[in-house]
Structure 1
Amino acid sequence: MRALGIILAGGNPVKIRDLTKKRAAAALPIAGSYRAIDFALSNMSNSSIQKVAVLTQYNSRSLNEHLNSSKWWDFGRKHGGLFLFTPTITADNGYWYRGTADAIYQNLDFLKKSHEPYVVISSGDGIYKTDYSKILEYHIAKKADITVVCKEIPEQEDATRFGVVKMDSTMRITDFEEKPMVAMSNIVSTGIYIIRRRQLIDLIEHSAEEGRYDFVTDILVRYKNLKKIYGYKIKDYWNSITTVDAYYKTNMDFLKKDVRNYFFKEQPDIRSKVSDLPPAKYNPKANVKNSLIASGCIINGTVENSILFKKVFVGNNCVIKNSIILNDVYLGDNIYIENCIIESRGTIRANTRFVGEDGVKIVNEKNERYAL
């Protein structure tokens, strides 16, 4: 494919900070064995994009560990590869990334030294599967300056947490408002863009000269009437985990057979870093219904409509319903958990109860395991 990829993975969404205190949003666990960034990386690889840059900043240690080998997404190659960029203090610059456009500007040499004519830009927290080459064909056919991938969401969903767009009959974007107070339509931007490389360099440099640092507000919104910006609608599954409720819903969607089959049984594959863990063990008292249980788990209790990530221990007479248990959690005996997200590496003492009464409850227990 005649494009390189840029994945913006440095953000810290305000509405999900309870889950990003020790990890980047792009490193959030998804569907038992994956991280959010796996979906963007797999889409890049499956679209034959050979050179991808991941721009990280906030709480990036776990994300860097996850990306320590490019082979899992088939980027271990002579030409191209996976590049990881963090803010760097130089003689000319001592700033952290001040926005998405500034993140690209601080790594502009990557674009200038590349030779691919087009750039695919994607966020690191989108959960979706798509072929970027088809979007590029559309972009070229429309003779667009920028193509924005859009999704029509159900009327009952809150569109104000996204960028909301309006398009005319030719699919040209006539209005674009980022996270409005009141949504003017239910067509939202997915945070995926295609643009010619040289034009991106010019726009980023011009924005930096004017002290403008955000790609959406300072380029897409600012130039919507000056550049030919077109929308490309996708109809398949897409969600962005920018809130706790969205994160919970996205994970719970994987308990639906059609969503699981779409991501994991239909080609192309979604890939992730593989851990050398034994398969999940179900002891005689285990009772599991409609749940995803990752490798390394040991189950002694009841698990219903829940997702257990790697290395979770469930004690005797435990009941887990409609919950997400993140990596390496120890659950003692006689525990009841419902409508909760249990933070990773936690220890829940025996005979305790956690229930999300008015929505999803995040539980972050750090009891010492040897004291149990």
Structure 2
Amino acid sequence: MINNKVLSIILGGGQGSRLYPLTESRSKPAVPIAGKYRLVDIPISNCINADIKRIFVLTQFNSASLNRHIKDTYHFSFFSSAFVDVLAAEQTPANKGWFQGTADAVRQSMHHFLRHDFEYALILSGDQLYQMDYDLMVEAHIASNAEISIATIPVNAKDATSFGILKANDENVVTSFIEKPDASLLPEWTSEVSDDMKHQGRNYLASMGIYIFNRKLLVDLMNDPSTIDFGKEIIPQSIEAHKTLSYQYEGYWTDIGNIDSFFEANIGLTDDIPKFDLYDKSKRIYTRARMLPTSKILGTTLNKAVIAEGCIISAAKIEQSVIGVRSRIGNESTVINTYMMGCDYYETLEEIENYRIKILMGIGERCFIKNAIIDKNCRIGDDVRINGGKHLEDKETDMYVIKEGIVVIKKGATIPVGYVI
């Protein structure tokens, strides 16, 4: 089987400063999405669905919760060669520092990869939301006798300036590449795309940061310590010397690069027909099996709400919101256009009594919450009013951060009774 020849390498990203404060105590791939998953579940699930089951996840910042999630989630048969392993940056006699970029992360971890028998390395990002058939990309790579393949997606002129843009010939072989081109250069960088993409004005091929390398070439390229990034150095420098295939993908894909895109991707799950389909049996998203009870909802008006398991909800109204596992929302509260991540555990009546807990985990009574992200294990007191929107200036306190009008309540924060944001 072709997929037995593929080793998958998922890049966990850097410090994730643009996703702060969600990355204050966890790495980017460990950030919770859709109420019950983690970002890293997306590329891992895509691999499993493509029957690629030898997977490394590379990370260096706040990797404890990611380690725990992967250890608790991905178990394969003892008689299988399948695994999902986390490789955190480590100091060795040869490498004294942190990962300096995507290529440097792969270089520093190569001794782990080379212990395995593989012909093709599939290199993925750990912070993107999409469902893709990697096996089709691998087949196209082999059929074209390529040494490198790049997954590409058509984008419009506005977005093109934020990506690496490439041009390909009639056989989808990449002929040129430019990183984040100036808008004035774009007329020279249009590519042949499908009629549907043309109608949408998406005439530029952007790199998705998804690559396939032949093993020998990857080993050779990693011998040059001066190259530290795939997008900025390895790819542009390799196009002329090595046959590089553009593999066009036209499905839903978003790069979870900042709070705004993260918020939009999660709230988008409440659409009548979401662009990211969690209900496709052939493209399942796997995550930790928590064995939680069903959610209980009392007297709540629900409209465009995604509610995970284990919740206890008595709110007046929940609209266009994603409510995560073990969430509690009190009487007469209203939640609109909000992503509530939920809780890691339940508080027992004994704990509440013994520790005299006045503000319980979850949202209290008579609250109004709009345009917000509520991180895990937060306590929001009764009569709290959070009204996010463009009218708010960017701001940070011990309890919350405001970015682009979105109010992000920090993990484990307590918002006092009657507080107004």
Structure-1-length-normalised TM-score = 0.91
Partner residue in 1 for 2:311: 297
Partner residue in 1 for 2:21: 18
Q: Which amino acid in the other structure matches residue 166 of structure 2?
A: V
Partner residue in 2 for 1:251: 266
Find the residue that maps to 2:282 and give its secondary structure. Answer: coil
Q: Greater shift after overlay, 87-96 or 332-341?
A: 87-96
Find the residue that maps to 1:44 and give its secondary structure. Answer: helix
Tell me how far apart the structure 2 counterparts of residues 69 and 75 of structure 1 sit (CA, whole Å): 14
Deviation at 1:322, TM superposition (A): 0.9
Find the residue that maps to 1:254 and give its secondary structure. Answer: helix
Find the residue that maps to 2:302 and give its secondary structure. Answer: strand
Tell me how far apart the structure 1 counterparts of residues 167 and 263 of structure 2 sit (CA, whole Å): 29
Deviations 1:57-79 (A, max 9, x none): 1121221111014535x476532
The correspondence for 1:204, drawn from 176, 197, 222, is: 222
Deviations 1:76-128 (A, max 9, x none): 65324222211112222221111111111111112322211111111111111
Q: Is residue 166 from structure 1 mapped to residue 138 from structure 2 by the alignment?
A: no
Q: Greater shift after overlay, 313-322 or 163-172?
A: 163-172
RMSD (CA atoms): 2.4
Partner residue in 2 for 1:330: 362
Once the two structures are aligned, what percentage of the paired residues are identical?
A: 30
C-alpha change, 1:180 and 1:27, in structure 2 (3 Å) is: farther
Tell me how far apart the structure 1 counterparts of residues 331 and 231 of structure 2 sit (CA, whole Å): 51
Q: Greater shift after overlay, 174-183 or 161-170?
A: 174-183
Deviations 1:179-238 (A, max 9, x none): 4454836422111111111111110112x1xx2211221200222222222211112111
Partner residue in 2 for 1:344: 376
Tell me how far apart the structure 1 counterparts of residues 408 and 180 of structure 2 sit (CA, whole Å): 29
Deviation at 1:343, TM superposition (A): 2.1
The within-5 A match list for 1:55-134 is: 55-69=58-72, 71=74, 74=76, 78-134=80-136
Deviation at 1:261, TM superposition (A): 8.0
Q: Which amino acid in the other structure matches residue 38 of structure 1?
A: D
C-alpha change, 1:228 and 1:75, in structure 2 (3 Å) is: farther
Tell me how far apart the structure 2 counterparts of residues 212 and 356 of structure 1 sit (CA, whole Å): 43
* 8 Å contact from structure 2 (residues 42, 131) kept in 1: yes
Tell me how far apart the structure 2 counterparts of residues 81 and 238 of structure 1 sit (CA, whole Å): 26
Q: Could you say which structure has the larger radius of gyration?
A: 2
The correspondence for 1:47, drawn from 36, 40, 50, is: 50
Partner residue in 2 for 1:363: 408
Deviations 1:322-351 (A, max 9, x none): 111112251111111111112222112221
Q: Which amino acid in the other structure matches residue 7 of structure 2?
A: L
Tell me how far apart the structure 2 counterparts of residues 191 and 258 of structure 1 sit (CA, whole Å): 27
**Structure 1 gaps, min length 5:** none
Q: Which amino acid in the other structure matches residue 247 of structure 1?
A: F
C-alpha change, 1:161 and 1:312, in structure 2 (3 Å) is: farther
C-alpha change, 1:35 and 1:181, in structure 2 (3 Å) is: farther
* 8 Å contact from structure 2 (residues 9, 55) kept in 1: yes
Tell me how far apart the structure 1 counterparts of residues 416 and 371 of structure 2 sit (CA, whole Å): 24
Tell me how far apart the structure 2 counterparts of residues 239 and 260 of structure 1 sit (CA, whole Å): 10
Q: Is residue 191 from structure 1 mapped to residue 236 from structure 2 by the alignment?
A: no
Deviations 1:299-333 (A, max 9, x none): 11111010011121111111111111112251111
Partner residue in 1 for 2:398: none
Tell me how far apart the structure 2 counterparts of residues 267 and 133 of structure 1 sit (CA, whole Å): 13
* 8 Å contact from structure 1 (residues 341, 360) kept in 2: no
* 8 Å contact from structure 2 (residues 305, 320) kept in 1: yes
Runs of 4+ in 1 over 4 A off after TM superposition: 74-77
Q: Greater shift after overlay, 175-184 or 55-64?
A: 175-184
The within-5 A match list for 1:217-232 is: 217-232=232-247
* 8 Å contact from structure 2 (residues 365, 382) kept in 1: yes
Find the residue that maps to 1:32 and give its secondary structure. Answer: coil
**Structure 2 gaps, min length 5:** 190-203, 344-360, 391-403
Deviations 1:147-188 (A, max 9, x none): 0001113555x3443322232333222332334454836422
Q: Greater shift after overlay, 222-231 or 124-133?
A: 222-231
Tell me how far apart the structure 2 counterparts of residues 173 and 38 of structure 1 sit (CA, whole Å): 30
Q: Which amino acid in the other structure matches residue 287 of structure 2?
A: S
Find the residue that maps to 1:267 and give its secondary structure. Answer: helix
Tell me how far apart the structure 1 counterparts of residues 283 and 77 of structure 2 sit (CA, whole Å): 16
* 8 Å contact from structure 1 (residues 341, 362) kept in 2: yes
Tell me how far apart the structure 2 counterparts of residues 155 and 179 of structure 1 sit (CA, whole Å): 11
